[in-house]
Homo-oligomer: A and B are copies of this chain.
Amino acid sequence: MIAVQQSARTARVGTARDASPLAGTRLWNSPYLSRDEQRVLEEAASPASSVAPNVDLVREGYGTDRLLVVTEGWVCRYTTTQGGGRQFPAIILPGDVGNLDSLLFERLDFSVRTLTRASVVALSCEQALALAAQHPGIAQTFIWLALVENAILGKWALSLGRRSSKERLAHLLCELSVRLDAVDGNESHFAFPITQEQLADSLGLTAVHVNRMMQYLRAEGLVVIADRIITLPDVESLRRIGGFDPAYLHLDRSVATQLA
């Protein structure tokens, strides 16, 4: 099945055959990098290290001197209110950078935490900044990564502020399917290791209500979940419900077309 291959590909970005642990990463696949710049980045990257689920990689108010590039597993950013409420400003999928902010900021204003077991490649911030200063393509890549994050977060804000719970869930599922490159025709199929409570923290809802909305989507035949694998048999309908238009992910010039 194509879908299975895709979910395998998205679950692990780099393969043993690749020269660099960064291979397949958005940082590495950036359309703004020359071969030379790609090579320079590769050399600066540390080997991947494995991290258990539910581990904080960085805590809000603290900093790191390393950029964390996730190559396997799901990671989140989270922030909390004084009352204990938790909200994810981002879900970080294989290939994404977890803490781009560390490039310029001493202290992060969010925490970064693994949702599943994950593989993380580290890159010295100092070195990354120095490389950006020497190589325009690397600098542009960082700008690009930040702008795409921004675009995604902007749509999350729209969901959080103006969409019903059902629409929010549908929109998030559509976004994940596209970001994981798991859309195959009008179907989508990918590993879905996240709990309903974590979904709730992404959507600004309670786990109980996420459960009910998930049941609704299942009853409509728009979502099938089995063995932590999710199938979206009718992506088009789900997109209509969520008001999802993939344009904001700006995949036109990125990895997707590079592979084509």
Chain A residues packing against B (C-beta within 8 Å): 61, 77, 79-83, 85-87, 89-90, 100-101, 103-107, 109-110, 129, 132-134, 136, 139-140, 142-144, 146-147, 149-151, 153-158, 160-163, 167, 201, 203-204, 243, 247-248, 250, 252
Contacts and interface: CB of A to CB of B under 8 A. Distances in A.
Contacts of A103: 143, 147
A161 B160 contact: yes
Contact of A157 (B61, B146, B156, B162): B156
Contacts of A243: 81-83
Given A103-B143, A146-B147, A153-B157, A162 B81 contact: yes
Nearest to A137: B133
Interface class of chain A by DSSP? helix
Contacts of A250: 105, 109
B158 A87 contact: yes
A83 B140 CA distance: 36
Contacts of A86: 162
Given A89-B157, A105-B151, A109-B250, 20 more contacts: A79-B154, A79-B155, A81-B158, A81-B162, A82-B243, A83-B243, A87-B161, A103-B143, A104-B140, A105-B147, A109-B247, A110-B154, A132-B136, A132-B140, A139-B140, A146-B150, A150-B150, A160-B161, A161-B204, A162-B204
A143 B104 contact: yes
This chain: how many copies in the complex? 2
B139 A204 contact: no
A104 B142 CA distance: 11
Contacts of A157: 79, 87, 89, 153, 156-157, 160, 204
A169 to B, nearest CB: 13
A109 B250 CA distance: 9
A74 to B, nearest CB: 18
A172 to B, nearest CB: 12
Contacts of A144: 104
Contacts of A163: 81, 85
Contacts of A105: 147, 151, 250
